Amino acid sequence: MITLAILIFFGLYTWTDIMSVEENEEALVIELYAQQFNWKARYSGEDGVLGDANVRFLQDFDGKNIAGIDSTDPNGFDDVVTTELHLPVGRDIIFKMRSQDVLHSAFMPHFRAQMNCVPGMITEFQFTPITTTYQMRQKPEVVAKVKKINKIRVEKSKNLVANGEEPLEPYVFDYLLLCNKICGASHYNMQMKIIVETPEEFEKWINEQPNFAESIQ
Amino acid sequence: MSIVLDAHHEEDHHHKETFITKYIFSQDHKMIAKQYLITGLFMGIVGIAMSLLFRLQLAWPEQPFWIFEALLGKWAPDGVMDPNVYLALVTIHGTIMVFFVLTAGLSGTFSNLLIPLQIGARDMASGLLNMISFWLFFLSSLVMLMSLFVEAGPAAAGWTIYPPLSALPQAQPGSGLGMTLWLVSMTIFIASSLLGSLNYIVTVINLRTKGMTMSRLPLTIWAFFVTAIIGVVSFPVLLSAGFLLIMDRSFGTSFFLSDIFIQGEVLHYQGGSPVLYEHLFWFLGHPEVYIVLLPALGITSEVIATNARKPIFGYRAMVASILAIAFLSTIVWGHHMFISGMNPFLGSVFTFTTLLIAIPSAVKAFNYITTLWKGNLQLNPAMLFSIGLVSTFISGGLTGIILGDSTLDINVHDTYFVVAHFHLVMGISALYGLFAGVYHWFPKMFSRMMNKNLGYIHFWVTAVCAYGVFFPMHFIGMAGLPRRYYTNTAFPYFDDIANINIVITIFALIAGLAQLVFLYNFIHSMFYGKKTVQNPWNSTTLEWTAEIEHIHGNWKGPIPSVHRWPYDYSKPGYKEDFVPQTLPLKKGEEELQH
């Protein structure tokens, strides 16, 4: 009974801690946008506010409006939609999840983070990445795992080459975002690369991306 | 009202039976039990065969198999399984095993067989409803099997059929006619289950023989009784979810759908929420776990007490924990939805109620162990399967504490960790309960004994392989591998657990073979087994005082009356190590009951 009480108390304390999303000035707001069978990320741009969006705007601008941003909302003009998820290390990230067709689940196993993406509503999750992709690749346990995986891939490649097929590419460590709610035929291959980098690298990258106003030109 | 007729009249009635009224449209509870069992076993073969097919795919994802092409035809061109078919197999495997095998096959069989026999009744309260209940179940099985043969394939949205995936034929081919048949089949199934459950409840309340007070009921009956109540409370909610889904699919309503763009088209749905469906589904879905498990636990109580030659430890605590589990089971459904997007505060509430279930579950587990402690163990196959159940119930239950904690669930939700957990705690446990029941009551059902040695082979191979299959799944789940993936090769990150998948599949194939031993034993013993004696396990309960040959009405003479609780094993002052419930107390003898 005492054990159970401790489990419940401690569990609920941590749960509240994780799940309470606190809007704050420094936090970076990113929308994760799910569809069969890929992910997109939408950054809120300089104003820090995501523009309104709805699936009814998806066909605007000859389909160039790939996240369904409302073009009458000025907050959306500087939003940036990408197919890779870049996160600056050490900064609070608030994820807002949307889906355009069926249920998906944004699962980031390395961050122990997961939240469903539900059509018709926006779900939230918040965390702060503390290790960059580069630092992770240097960690002894990650190095060992990558080595093991590559040994397996070399073995497999030998068979493939013998059958006249392309060999497998060597594996390097990357953080992953994958879909963890059954969503159809290619559910098993619905993924996005996550790159955690220094704030400077992140700024450089995000400034190279076209924003919404530019992309619909 | 055949139940109030005296035995003599029943005899006359018995002679007039034709082949059809005796074997097909029978209203006799023993025949209906056998019909449930055989239909359930057949569905079990289909369900397990499907799991072996997708296990092959998971272990050797790039390899073509001739068996895929032979069984799946155009869905597996050149022996390579189509991803949609993989999802369909997973879906139908889940549906069949949970509903058709472990609900109808387990509860239907043993509630029907044992309720009248163990409470001392001539039949169920309504033989006609009982017959209708079975034939509706049969019909729903047929519709479910039929859905395997439609052009676009059967339902493939997972056994939980979450919309919008299940609601939109554009989202996957299985959500067309296949899903319609799935919904029709489940609607019929729920009707069958409700008729059956109402019958069980009424029978237990009204038709107990003289002296059979509620506190003298065997724990099997307590379990079936409470299971039926949970079923009546929760199945209608699934029915409503199903109806609303049918409305959304066919009549353009928006209960579960909103803001959807699919296949280049904006759909008109507005204002609904899939989360509402999840709530409705799991309001049945979670009690369903106990609908599956409680009868297995009831059977285990009976088998363990009989074969340990000891009174069950803590009879009242056992009954109380059954009731507590039944109550709690209806207020924990949200733990399937911690990361569904519902309010996190609700998640806290469900964590609290969920973890409370650990208390009655632990009471039951400890009581089984204390019953076994220093018992004179008769390790026949039924007993082995019961002990196996206690083992899987504990190992599966421990991971339940992890999953029930919302914080820990974030990370392992929908991974193989969950697959491992629920297969052990409800799948394998309930299956062991089913096997224990079949081995124990086979003489009552078919008046013959099953072969013991084949039973030993069946148990040991199954027990080793079940852990071989599900234990490693905990680790690949914690490594982050999601369930319902057609192949893991899309992620090089998971390459180093591919070997574990091969090990799991090999264990699964061996376990599948072991079930053939059981089937052979079952069918062979039905016709050629050794004839049984009146009371083969020296058991105290009423069913062993009924005639060996099946007659309508169960007892030739008057129904025996009951004078003591059902667990008088090894009671001091008696020569035999069991005292039947029908034996009156000696002068000055105290009735045990603890």
CA distance A6 to chain B (A): 11
CA B205/CA B201 separation, integer angstroms = 6
Whether the per-residue pLDDT at B587 is higher than 60: the answer is yes
Q: Is A53 helix (H, G, I), strand (E, B) or coil?
A: strand
Among residues B198, B182, B223, B7, the alpha carbon closest in space to that of B87 is found at: B182
Q: Regarding beta strands A93-99 and A28-35, do their DSSP bridges make them parallel or antiparallel, or are they unpaired?
A: parallel
> Smallest Cβ distance to A185: which of B83, B355, B408?
B83
Residue B10 banded pLDDT, cuts 50, 70, 90: very low
The per-residue pLDDT for range B138-194, each reduced to its tens digit, is 999 999 999 999 988 999 999 999 999 999 999 999 999 999 999 999 999 999 999
Quick one: pLDDT at residue A59? 85
Question: What are the chain B neighbours of A33 within 8 Å (beta carbons)?
Answer: none
> Smallest Cβ distance to A186: which of B83, B348, B411?
B83
The per-residue pLDDT for range A130-171, each reduced to its tens digit, is 999 999 999 999 999 999 999 999 988 998 898 888 888 899
pTM higher than the cut 0.80: yes
CA B397/CA B293 separation, integer angstroms = 12
Whether the per-residue pLDDT at B300 is higher than 50: the answer is yes
Whether the per-residue pLDDT at B16 is higher than 70: the answer is no
Averaged pLDDT for residues B117-132: 93
Q: Residue A17 to residues A29, A145, B406, B547: CA-CA distances in angstroms?
A: 19, 31, 12, 64
Q: Is the Cβ–Cβ distance between A201 and A84 less than 8 Å?
A: no
Q: Is B44 helix (H, G, I), strand (E, B) or coil?
A: helix
Quick one: pLDDT at residue B419? 96
Residue B197 banded pLDDT, cuts 50, 70, 90: very high
> Smallest Cβ distance to B165: which of A100, A145, A182?
A182
Instruction: Give the number of C-alpha atoms closer than 13 A to the C-alpha of residue A122, restricted to the C-beta side.
Output: 14
CA B384/CA B453 separation, integer angstroms = 12
Quick one: pLDDT at residue B7? 45
Quick one: pLDDT at residue A26? 83
Whether the per-residue pLDDT at A209 is higher than 80: the answer is yes
Q: Say which residue the tokens 């909103």 belong to.
A: B258
Q: Is the Cβ–Cβ distance between B542 and B562 less than 8 Å?
A: yes
Residue to mutate among A4, A60, A95, A101, with most B CBs inside 10 A, is A101
Among residues B438, B444, B437, B440, the alpha carbon closest in space to that of B550 is found at: B444
CA A173/CA A146 separation, integer angstroms = 7
Omega of the bond prior to A109 within 30 degrees of 0, cis?
Answer: no
The per-residue pLDDT for range B389-425, each reduced to its tens digit, is 999 999 999 999 999 999 999 999 999 999 999 999 9
Q: Is A87 an 8 Å CB contact of chain B?
A: no
Q: Which residues pair with B213 in a beta bridge?
A: none
CA A157/CA A176 separation, integer angstroms = 23
Among residues B430, B435, B359, B352, the alpha carbon closest in space to that of B393 is found at: B430
Question: What are the chain A neighbours of B413 within 8 Å (beta carbons)?
Answer: 105, 114, 180
* A:B CB pairs within 8 Å: 183
Q: Residue B352 to residues A6, A9, A151, B138, B453: CA-CA distances in angstroms?
A: 11, 9, 46, 40, 46
Quick one: pLDDT at residue B12? 47
Helix (H) or strand (E) holding A98: strand A93-99
- Cβ distance A116 to B355 less than 8 Å, yes or no, reads no
Range in A129-133, A201-205, B78-82, B369-373 with the lowest mean pLDDT = B78-82
Strand order in the sheet with A123-127: A80-82, A38-43, A28-35, A93-99, A123-127
- Cβ distance B493 to A105 less than 8 Å, yes or no, reads no
Q: What are phi and psi of B74, to 5 degrees?
A: -70, -10
